[in-house]
Amino acid sequence: MEAHMNSISTTPPLAADLISFIEGLPKAELHLHIEGTLEPELLFALAQRNNVSLPYASVEELRAAYAFTDLQSFLDLYYAGAAVLQTEQDFYDMTMAYIVRSRADNVRHAEIFFDPQTHTERGIAIDVVFAGIARALREARERHGFSSAIIMSFLRHLSEEDAFATLEAALPLRAEYRDLWIGIGLDSAERGNPPEKFARVFARCRELGFHLVAHAGEEGPPQYVKDALDVLHVERIDHGVRSEEDPALMKRLAEQRIPLTVCPLSNLKLCVVDDMRKHNLARLLHAGLAVTVNSDDPAYFGGYMNANFMAVAASLRLSRTELVMLARNAFEATFLPAAAKQQLLLELDGYCMAH
Ligand SMILES: [Zn+2]
């Protein structure tokens, strides 16, 4: 971790005008796990409210434990943290805290992952999970025009049978949450859990008319990215940074403009890259890929959308034009209806003209 601290401290600071340009830039977030937004302070408050004992004495001690060596070391802590989520109000509070932070970063639309299996395997009913998240998102839409959708994600370290059972349990709720629930995703430990493990359940979700996405090419090989496209038929790749190792795949991703939801601070924190200045985001962008910037699990990885934009802008010396390309790619990659998408793209154009 010390190496990371050094590499961050030697990155030249951003110019003040670029900082304010990033702060005001309208953004869409497409790779965000709602359970990964649980800040230590809220985690402790919920533990107290629900009488859950934590293996950490203080918020500071918990934060100090956020020194990960790989994806699995993070997942172990992430699942332990989720244990404090018990009631509909807990899911509401967590989601509302994310909305407040995202609005401050001028996120105009968010497509949010949630992992019901993390909760149902602890005995929390799936409708409690849906209800708490949805109440916060609907309230934010009505009060602030905050646009959002939810993507139910299967945990890939569990079996496909378990994913099918989760889908069956969730489907009766589909009508009630039709305004929000648009898609299906695949996350958690990638290595050893290839896309084809979920071929049948994804085929079923495709028949049901859901949008499909999957994590691939974060720690897993480029082959997983190809299999996510060809076997699971996903429309976006979450992460996908290891696609760079396969020139033919790079060409295909560029030609087909398949969006990659890249998460820079996550990649640094989980040691996918050891120095932000070596991150391949700019190279992927220059190769014509539809790269987007996202925060993944911001409470654990050190920052929300603006922090991710600032980190790549500083370390990769991105221009305003490149930053706007990243924002535009995200709006174009949303699953919004054409009219809503167009409206956000016009807003982005207006911002660029005024700055
Ligand atoms: Zn993720």
What are the tens digits of pLDDT across the range 217-228? 999 999 999 999
* Host H or E run for residue 340: helix 338-354
Instruction: Count H helices and E strands in the chain, helices first.
Output: 18, 8
Least confident of 77-81, 130-134, 317-321: 77-81
Ligand 1 centre and the CA of 30: distance in Å? 10
Q: What is the predicted pLDDT for the residue at 78?
A: 87
Q: Which residues are identified as catalytic?
A: 218
Ligand 1 centre and the CA of 346: distance in Å? 28
Q: What is the predicted pLDDT for the residue at 80?
A: 81
pLDDT in tens, 151-166: 999 999 999 999 999 9
Contact 294, 305 (CB under 8 A): yes
- Please say if the pLDDT value at position 39 is more than 80: yes
Ligand 1 centre and the CA of 56: distance in Å? 25
Distance between CA atoms of residues 222 and 243, nearest Å: 5
- Please say if the pLDDT value at position 82 is more than 60: yes
Strand order in the sheet with 290-293: 27-29, 107-114, 147-155, 181-187, 211-216, 236-239, 259-262, 290-293
The domains of the chain, with CATH numbers, are 2-7+17-39+89-354 (3.20.20.140)
Residue found under tokens 């014509």: 288
- Please say if the pLDDT value at position 178 is more than 70: yes
Q: What is the predicted pLDDT for the residue at 10?
A: 59
In this structure, what token pair is assigned to residue 350? Answer: 């207006």
Percent of the chain with pLDDT over 70: 97
Distance between CA atoms of residues 239 and 234, nearest Å: 13
**Protein residues near ligand 1, an ion, with CB under 5 A:** 296
Distance between CA atoms of residues 278 and 210, nearest Å: 36
How many other CB atoms are there within 10 angstroms of residue 178's CB atom? 9
Closest CA to 239 of 168, 303, 294: 294
pLDDT confidence tier of residue 4, bands split at 50, 70 and 90: very low
Least confident of 64-78, 264-278, 290-304, 315-329: 64-78
For residue 324, the one-letter residue type is V
Residue found under tokens 């993944």: 296
- Please say if the pLDDT value at position 6 is more than 60: no
Ligand 1 centre and the CA of 191: distance in Å? 14
Ligand 1 centre and the CA of 261: distance in Å? 9
